[in-house]
Structure 1
Amino acid sequence: MSTLAIATAQEVFDLLRDDLTAIERELERDAVSSVTAITEIAEYLRAGGGKRIRPSLLLLAARSLGYTGHGMIRLGAVVELVHTATLVHDDIIDGADTRRGRPSANTTWGNEKCVLAGDWLYMQAFRIALEERNFKVLDLLIGLTQQMVEGELLQIQTLGRAVNEAEYYELIYRKTACLFSTSMQLGATLAQGTPEQEEALANYGRSVGLAFQIVDDVLDLTATEEVLGKPVASDLREGKTTLPVIHALEHGTASERESILWVLEDGGFRRTPREQIQEILHRNGSVDYAMVAADRHAEQARESLVDLEDSEFKRALLWVLDFVVARDK
């Protein structure tokens, strides 16, 4: 990442520093249960960090519309709890050993305890959101959770087979972009924005979420294990067809397509080495194709903010787009 990008990232962090610190304190309080195992798992997950992108988006949406109340701290913690719960369940479903460079929670506590801890985190998120006494907030969170669960089920149904672009975008919307979109919409709801403002910010969240997941999928195939904090090409090994792979399947030779399909069917690189897959993607320009798509969604997000009043918070939202498409992990 360039020196300018790092400087800009620091400016955004400084802009939200007090709010993010308050959200971290809220998350620390929210991780406590009367059952020791749940507290241990929840605290382990919280301490694992993460970029806190979703709470940051909620804060920027709310503040860009002039909101200053405590509700954005509360709901910032809520969207992070929902995100964390999905990661716990994802790791169990995927049989993942690592998460962000550390052992995944299920490797330490086992699947049984972790699936229940994930359920607890979901319910804890709703309990905290209930303090807002706002039915629209609850409605948004219920719709969000249902879409994310449906996305996970759709993903399971497609494992081991090629999907087309329409199916891929449906999956990544439900699994990733809907949480970005809802985070923005929650911020707008707190600020009592107009329907037009709410729609614009939700559209921004959707587009930036799609770009984020496409870049994530590219990095899974191109970055190193040290950068990723998990094995390279985990998605392909788990039978997931991401955008670069879809492009290679559509534009590669018959033998290249067969090589990719073997990996999807085998759930590993027994018949086709990982390096060969990377070469196929490179030859067909598949990674570049995916990054162009990510840039296109980032541009759509930028266009969503055209009518938003200029402020340091709007400028931060515009910077987020550059961070999403240029990040290396």
Structure 2
Amino acid sequence: MSSISIATASEVFDLLRDDLALVEKEFSRQSESPVQVVTDIANYLMSGGGKRIRPMLLLLGARSLGCKTDARIRMGAVVEMLHTATLVHDDIIDEASTRRGRPSSNTTWGNSKCVLAGDWLYMEAFQTALNERNFRVLDLLISLTQQMVEGELLQMEKLGHLINEEEYFDLIYRKTACLFKVSMQLGAAISAGNTGNSADTISATPGEPLTAEEQSLGEYGRNLGLAFQIIDDMLDLTANDNVLGKPAASDLREGKATLAVIHALERGTGADREAIRTVLADRSFEHVTHQQILEILLRHGSLAYAMDTACAYAEAARQSIADLPDGEYKRALLWVPGFVTSRDR
């Protein structure tokens, strides 16, 4: 690892402010549809805020490799559009009533319209990506979408059941870390040659091996995404409803066993394991309270274990870009893992 300093939050946001504003405008432009309800749902979701961490990663990856073309703005909007589509579908599947402190889109428009709006967002994202005329971009996005759908299906099959750590990490890679990884790899893919992709140029060929930059940036994204989801799962257990913007402990109520819970299941007493199994099976805190579950997790150091694991992945993300050229964008990439592990929502 080089000895360059890690950027501050204000430095990172100053660095990306203009690009992120352009991504917001591009997202809005791409979300316009002659069918008004599609535009309304997309605008509602976009106005809900969010960290925009996925387009931020794509921008940092592309900029760190010298990309100056508008492809970074278009692809930044693509990854945020894909993420937004997954949120729409997740809320329908989970029967969620709130998202980021407001009614979820399906509560407002109903499941039927929202599932179709989510499908539309997916297709619009791919249409925009297709216009880049870059086979690598399409390869990455197709593989990403397949893995995210597989992850959702796997999770549905395991609801209410006990899983081990290997199964947990496979799930969170597919559902979360894969998009972080591909966001970084897309930044590298559109930076290859740094000459821009004209409308009559098809870049890369299908099945071509990953470049060294795609490999290192992809590994960064993978490790960061795993850390991000572990923290998300911890916050679901420990934060309150107002901070989360949704009901706390939603994962347990939906029958999902996350890392701290799996750790406690493997180390707890018979009574501890039975209490956790009861919540997962009931999908409620009717017989065992949320506070009782937290006491079990604290007693066995399970929350500390999950935090240590997230921090280890965050550090692995930093190590993944050791060979990246030093500069302000590398300094920003070194800042992101700390942001991910220290957030409270």
Q: 1:122 is matched with which residue?
A: 122
CA displacement 1:245-304 (0-9 Å, x = unmatched): 000100111001000000000011111011100111111100000000001101111110
SS at match of 1:67: coil
Distance 1:223 1:8 in 2: 25
CA displacement 1:10-58 (0-9 Å, x = unmatched): 2111100110010000011112111111111111011111110000000
Q: 1:44 is matched with which residue?
A: 44
Give the aligned length: 323
Distance 2:84 2:268 in 1: 37
* Aligned equivalent of 2:276, options 242, 260, 273: 260
Distance 2:190 2:134 in 1: 9
CA displacement 1:96-137 (0-9 Å, x = unmatched): 000011100000000000000000000010011111111110
Q: 2:293 is matched with which residue?
A: 277
Q: TM-score, normalised by structure 2?
A: 0.92
Q: 2:199 is matched with which residue?
A: none
Q: 1:170 is matched with which residue?
A: 170
Q: 1:224 is matched with which residue?
A: 240
1:199-238 equivalence runs, <5 A: 199-238=215-254
Distance 1:26 1:178 in 2: 23
Residue 191 of structure 1 pairs with residue 191 of structure 2: yes
Q: What is the identity, as a one-letter code, of the residue corresponding to 2:252?
A: L
1:36-75 equivalence runs, <5 A: 36-75=36-75
Q: 2:321 is matched with which residue?
A: 305
SS at match of 1:240: coil
- State the structure with bigger RCO (CA 8 A, min sep 6), 1 or 2: 2
CA displacement 1:216-236 (0-9 Å, x = unmatched): 000000111111000110001
Q: What is the identity, as a one-letter code, of the residue corresponding to 1:57?
A: L
Which sections of structure 1, spanning at least 5 residues, go unmatched? 1-6
Which sections of structure 2, spanning at least 5 residues, go unmatched? 1-6, 194-209
Q: What is the identity, as a one-letter code, of the residue corresponding to 1:86?
A: T
What's the offset of the Cα at 1:8?
Answer: 2.0
* Aligned equivalent of 2:262, options 228, 232, 246: 246
Q: What is the identity, as a one-letter code, of the residue corresponding to 2:256?
A: K
Q: 1:79 is matched with which residue?
A: 79
Q: 1:4 is matched with which residue?
A: none
CA RMSD of aligned residues (A): 1.0
SS at match of 1:160: coil
Q: What is the identity, as a one-letter code, of the residue corresponding to 2:211?
A: P
Distance 1:328 1:36 in 2: 36
Q: What is the identity, as a one-letter code, of the residue corresponding to 1:192?
A: A
SS at match of 2:96: coil
Aligned-pair identity (%): 66
CA displacement 1:185-240 (0-9 Å, x = unmatched): 00011111781111000000000000000000000001111110001100010000
1:151-162 equivalence runs, <5 A: 151-162=151-162
Distance 1:76 1:217 in 2: 25
Q: 2:179 is matched with which residue?
A: 179
Distance 1:158 1:21 in 2: 39
Q: 2:148 is matched with which residue?
A: 148
Q: 1:325 is matched with which residue?
A: 341
Moved over 6 A (4+): none
Distance 2:211 2:42 in 1: 36
Distance 1:300 1:105 in 2: 36
Q: 2:31 is matched with which residue?
A: 31
SS at match of 2:13: helix
Distance 2:94 2:247 in 1: 13
CA displacement 1:74-95 (0-9 Å, x = unmatched): 0000000000000000000000
Q: What is the identity, as a one-letter code, of the residue corresponding to 2:21?
A: T
Q: What is the identity, as a one-letter code, of the residue corresponding to 1:307?
A: D
